[in-house]
Structure 1
């Protein structure tokens, strides 16, 4: 793979080639990507989606929105630092094509900003709830109406693939969705393959899937423009990752490792004395012990350690990226950057403690259980109504549901069972946590009960 192609500024519908030398330096194309994402309704919904603690009653805990903003900031630093070294190694990128180190930072920042944009409500249990609905729930009745790949899309519903759909799918009067640059869409796609075949133990790019059947042709066009190397998946379409995807992934890994740990300490789920104990190897070379001891408030002390720890991991991730750049460009680097980190043992210790004390905390488990029921109930009525509409067999109840649920406004009419089901799933996945609860209350009559009607 070649950087000249990987940094493509092309957008859906372009009729002429966009050249970096011709860009307006006051508002570069990659920066436009960031703006379009942050002003999109999909991004705004992240303000009420779970990061760790579902429907938390505290203002401190991170949501998907604050997490995404933080990942974007870390990603921008990773991109700029790596970009400066890439330009030193490949001077023709700057001398001939006009690329700057900020371009790399802008691409990674935009992709990182949107990395969770397709995630359903209630955290990762939301994905599992949708999949279970089609595996062992009422959605199983649709299996015979779908191809194997279409059914796999729903059975293993993936927030990454849904994110690509939101960013790129055509809407009425808006071809190409947000019309992001192909470089940003490539960097966003963490798992550049379709849902089948499902492979275990292979390259990290095949761990999950990142493209629904409805967007496969779109992604193939993007992959061709970027020059992504094709993978032999024996019956499936897939490509090697865009190199900058590794930096987007590293930004996410760094943030959820360190910041979820910080959340747990501030919530009292993890004792403060664990902070320095678990972070000491990440901060020991840069910490000012006198300054640390002089900070009177616990959240500020933890924040000081967090900032140093993130800085350490950023530098380490860039080091690994540049050491492995040739293998990455050949499509031969098959693990996450932090899997090669000199701090891998410390990272694993922090994650294991977070799993034990935070992710499996009673408050988290209880809300995830409720989330399963809520999403399953909404899917039950919405899928039946959507498929009934497609088949011309809409009951009076279905009509009421369709009038109440704003299912993918602006989307083309579904012309197949798969399209109808995917629209219903996309609607549910796009809901915020409280939005899902509100709609569930409506369809179960709880809202009327609360109003004493």
Structure 2
């Protein structure tokens, strides 16, 4: 892989090549990507999707929106720092083609901003709830009507693939989705493979999948333009990651490791003194002891350690990327950047505590259970209305449900069962935590 191709400014529908040196410096193409994402309705809905505690009423907890903004800020810094070093190493990118270090930052920032855009309500439990509706629940009734890969898309429903769908899908009057640059789409796709074969290797790019069958051809076009290395041939397609996807992943890893931990402290789920001890272990080589001892309350100490921890991990992630750049470009690097971190033990300790005290807390588990039931019920309602088991079934209840689902009007009678089911799942995933509860109560007759 080579950087000139990987930094492609091409967008869906382009009839001519976009050259970096011809870009308007006041509003670069990669910065346009960021703007389009942040003004999209799918991104705005993240304000009511909680990052840690589903349906939490406390002001302290991060939403998916604030988390995405923070990941984007970290990603921009990480991209710029890495870009500066890459341009020193490959001066022709700047001298001949006009690329600047801010281009790397803008691509990573935009991809990081969108990284959760396809996630369902209730976090990863929402993904599992949708998938298990098809693998274990009433959705099994559709299995015989689908190909193996189509059913796998549903049974292992993946927020990353749904995000790629949102960013690229053709809808009436909206061709090419948000029409982002192919560089940003490449950096966004952490798992550049289809749903089958499932985990064909232990390589990180094979851990999940990054696009549904409907968007397979779109991703192939993006991958070809970017020059991504193929990892398999034939009917099962897969590619190596776009190098900048490693930086997007690192930015997300930094934020959820440190900031989810901070949320746990603010919620009282993790003892403050205990938490400060673990953060100090992470930044002990960089801490200004004199400055730290001048801070008189826990909140200020926590803020100082959080900022120092994020800065420390940004610098290390950039160093690891640059040391492994050649292997990454050859498609020979198959792990996350932090798998090679000198702080791996400290990071694992923090994540372990977060799992025990936050993600597996009674409050989270109880609300995830409720989320499972609500999402399964809504999928039953939606699939029964849009794909009735009996031909020409026209109950009044079904007609009323269809009238309430104006967002799915783009689905046509001629659409395949798979296209309808993916549309239903994507719509269900677009619901916020609060909208899911309200919809459940409405269809149950609990709310007028």
What band does the TM-score fall into relative to the shorter chain?
over 0.9
Shift of 1:278: 1.1
SS at match of 1:121: coil
Q: What is the CA–CA distance in structure 2 between the aligned matches of 1:414 and 1:38, rounded to whole Å?
A: 33
The equivalent of 2:261 in structure 1 is 261
Q: Per-residue CA shift, 1:15-51, capped at 9, x if unaligned?
A: 1110000000000000000000000000000000021
Shift of 1:135: 1.0
- 1:28 and 2:20 are equivalent in the alignment: no
- 1:88 and 2:88 are equivalent in the alignment: yes
Q: How many residue pairs get matched?
A: 448
Q: What is the CA–CA distance in structure 1 between the aligned matches of 2:391 and 2:422, rounded to whole Å?
A: 16
- 1:380 and 2:402 are equivalent in the alignment: no
Q: Greater shift after overlay, 300-309 or 178-187?
A: 300-309
Instruction: Check whether the contact 1:33–1:110 (CA below 8 A) recurs between aligned residues.
Output: yes
Q: What is the CA–CA distance in structure 2 between the aligned matches of 1:54 and 1:297, rounded to whole Å?
A: 29
Q: What is the CA–CA distance in structure 1 between the aligned matches of 2:368 and 2:414, rounded to whole Å?
A: 31
The equivalent of 2:407 in structure 1 is 407
How do 1:47-446 and structure 2 match up within 5 A?
Answer: 47-199=47-199, 201-232=201-232, 235-388=235-388, 392-408=392-408, 410=410, 415-446=415-446
Shift of 1:341: 0.4
Shift of 1:8: 0.3
Q: Per-residue CA shift, 1:330-377, capped at 9, x if unaligned?
A: 111000000000000110010001000010111100000000001000
Q: What is the CA–CA distance in structure 1 between the aligned matches of 2:158 and 2:398, rounded to whole Å?
A: 27
The verdict on how the C-alpha distance between 1:9 and 1:404 changes in structure 2, with shifts beyond 3 A counting, is same
SS at match of 1:302: helix
Q: What is the CA–CA distance in structure 2 between the aligned matches of 1:367 and 1:68, rounded to whole Å?
A: 22
Instruction: Check whether the contact 2:36–2:178 (CA below 8 A) recurs between aligned residues.
Output: yes
Instruction: Check whether the contact 2:282–2:347 (CA below 8 A) recurs between aligned residues.
Output: no
The verdict on how the C-alpha distance between 1:233 and 1:127 changes in structure 2, with shifts beyond 3 A counting, is farther
Shift of 1:121: 0.1
Q: What is the CA–CA distance in structure 1 between the aligned matches of 2:143 and 2:395, rounded to whole Å?
A: 22
Q: Per-residue CA shift, 1:167-212, capped at 9, x if unaligned?
A: 0001111100000000000000010110001125421001000100
Q: Structure 2: give runs of 5+ residues left out of the alignment.
A: none
Q: Structure 1: give runs of 5+ residues left out of the alignment.
A: 449-453
Instruction: Check whether the contact 1:197–1:235 (CA below 8 A) recurs between aligned residues.
Output: no
Q: What is the CA–CA distance in structure 2 between the aligned matches of 1:402 and 1:299, rounded to whole Å?
A: 50
Q: What is the CA–CA distance in structure 1 between the aligned matches of 2:208 and 2:346, rounded to whole Å?
A: 26
Instruction: Check whether the contact 1:390–1:420 (CA below 8 A) recurs between aligned residues.
Output: no
Instruction: Check whether the contact 1:385–1:394 (CA below 8 A) recurs between aligned residues.
Output: no
Shift of 1:295: 2.6
Shift of 1:291: 2.7
SS at match of 1:27: coil
SS at match of 2:398: helix
Q: What is the CA–CA distance in structure 2 between the aligned matches of 1:46 and 1:390, rounded to whole Å?
A: 37
Relative to the length of structure 2, the TM-score reads: 0.97
Instruction: Check whether the contact 1:191–1:209 (CA below 8 A) recurs between aligned residues.
Output: yes
Shift of 1:409: 5.3
